Amino acid sequence: MRNELKKICTKCGEEKPLSEFAKQLERRRSHCRVCTIAANKEYRLINKGRMNEQQRKKREANRFEYRAGCKRRYEANPEKFREKATEYRKAHPETKERVAVIAAKYRENLSAPYINQTLMSRGFIGEQITPDLIAAQRVRIKIIRAIKEKEMK
Amino acid sequence: MKINNIRDLELKMCRVLEEMTPDEDSLKYAREVANFSGKLLKAQCVSMAWGEVSGKKQTLPFMERNESGE
């Protein structure tokens, strides 16, 4: 039987097979996989707010790529996503009201997500929606609303 | 006022919005501008016929009213 190489983890102090230590360039890490996973988990817990903010900024900076990735994953397995969404709605019935409140706020303030939605419903796709287009559409909606308001009087 | 791009269109619409009054003519004009602007936006964004549509535009709502000096 082959004698497997072992190494002592500098974190937990246990002697473990070399395969329990992740590779780092030409050598192995000092902490075993179990300790690394636990440390990462702890770090995420402590820095949750900061990491979420970083992720949000990254998503916003690369929103077209991010959305394309979401779409690709959804199209590869739509049933799975639908099931997950149904389960989530069942488990969190308050979501519907919460989403409706947010949507109403966006609609009221003519926020970018609402303008995006109106443009997409007119057949625009992500790359075509530029800040200039959003601004113009916002003014257009303001005109339409003003007309309705004045007609009501 | 010539409309060469989306920014011009936005400025034009802003003016229409500011000058809007409750009278019938003004509302009719604003409605035409809103409808036609939708077509212009669409035409530009499918990267076709911006020239064509903005050319036609010159005889459509934006030019129908007396806008001398623009």
Asked if the C-beta of B17 comes within 8 angstroms of chain A's C-beta atoms, the answer is yes
Q: Name the pLDDT band for A2 (thresholds 50, 70, 90).
A: low
Look at A140 and B13 and tell me if their CB atoms are within 8 Å.
yes
pTM, rounded to two decimals: 0.59
- CA torsion A70→A75→A81→A83, rounded to 10°? 170
Per residue in B46-56, pLDDT tens? 554 455 555 55
3-class SS of residue A138: helix
Burial track A82-121 (b if 16+ CB lie within 10 A, e otherwise)? eeeeeeeeeeeeeeeeeeeeeeeebeeebbeebbbebbee
Per residue in B12-38, pLDDT tens? 889 989 998 888 888 988 998 888 888
Look at B9 and A133 and tell me if their CB atoms are within 8 Å.
no
Q: Which residue has the tokens 């992740």?
A: A22
Size of interface A-B (CB pairs under 8 A): 59
Structure tokens at A115: 């303008």
Structure tokens at A44: 């995420």
Asked if the C-beta of B48 comes within 8 angstroms of chain A's C-beta atoms, the answer is no
Question: Per mean pLDDT, which range of A105-109, A112-116, B22-26 is the poorest?
Answer: B22-26
Residues of A in contact with B14 (CB under 8 A): 139
CA–CA separation, B45 and A106 (whole Å): 24
